Amino acid sequence: MASRKTYDRPDLKIPVSLGVIMDGNGRWAKKRLLPRSAGHRAGAENLKELCRNCGRYGVKYLTVYAFSTENWTRPEDEVDQLMKLFVEFFRKYDPELEEEGIRVRFTGDIDSLPENLRKVCREGEERSAHRQKMQLIVAFNYGGRREIVNAARRIAERCISGEIAPEDITEQMMSDNMYLPDVPDPDFIIRPSGEMRISNFLLWECAYSEFWVSETLWPDFGYDELTQAFEAYTKRDRRFGGLSAEDKK
């Protein structure tokens, strides 16, 4: 497969908002007889590459699933390593994100994280707030159901205070109460490592997302795989419940 990188592909439709479920670090490490932590490290490095490739291709919002509300059930030392890598990632790679014009934001139950991690999130967001090319949204301690429950609670409080009545609740109001209401719903969601499930990622937002599952494990998911995914996305006929342009004629 050709691996010379070109981002000048007017034949490709590039999703404005892209989601990536960064799965398969453990299997990548196992194949190499390495500890799982080595897989997570390789995965973090690959995230830097994905950011660069997506920014250059013209993606505007890249949401990556880094740690789910269910990942706390993993052994304590693996969770510790993932937290350390999270802190290290922004320390190590922020200059490159800066160079690529990438703003960093977080989505998830950030308020429940330990103070040192909340600080990394806060500082990362502040430091990069002026960057314009692409937004990297890191889903960390993220669960789609928790996000929906959080929105429901906020709306319920407004009902109790008498500000609104239950019949005033709309889909738009739910969307407005998600963690980052200004980020468009993902047009396209990529899941490396072959699993055909959503694993609690962007449940509300994925209502009309296109999906792509790749057998490649996340640490190996590079420019060629991303390009292949965009080629597939280009051919999708997004009907949103209506008719395709061809049938409307």
Residue 24 within binding range of ligand IPE, rule CB under 6 A? yes
Q: Judged by CB under 6 A, does residue 199 bind ligand IPE?
A: yes
Instruction: Decide whether 155 or 225 has the Cβ nearer to ligand IPE.
Output: 225
Q: Is 138 in the site for ligand IPE (CB under 6 A)?
A: no
Q: Print the SS3 string covering 76-140.
A: HHHHHHHHHHHHHHHHHHHHHHHHCCEEEEEECCHHHCCHHHHHHHHHHHHHHCCCCCEEEEEEE
Nearest distance in Å: CB 195, ligand IPE: 5
CB of 143 to ligand IPE, least distance (A): 10
Residue 177 annotated in active site: no
23 is annotated as an active-site residue: yes
Residue 68 interaction partner, one of ligand IPE, Mg ion, none, beta carbon < 5-8 Å per kind: ligand IPE
Tell me, residue by residue from 212 to 231, as one string, x for binding to Mg ion by CB under 5 A and - for no binding.
--------------------
Residues 6+ away with beta carbon under 8 Å from 228: 214
Confirm or reject binding of residue 19 to ligand IPE (CB under 6 A): no
Residue 177 C-beta: closest distance to Mg ion, Å: 29
Using rule CB under 5 A, residue 23 touches Mg ion: yes
Q: Which of 142, 138, 150 has the alpha carbon at shortest distance from 200?
A: 142
Taken in order 31, 20, 135, 133, is the CA torsion positive or negative? positive
Q: Does 202 bind ligand IPE (CB under 6 A)?
A: no
DSSP string, 135-185: EEEEEEEE-HHHHHHHHHHHHHHHHHTTSS-GGG--HHHHHHTSS-TTSPP
Q: Just list the catalytic residues.
A: 23, 71
Q: Which residues bind Mg ion (CB under 5 A)?
A: 23
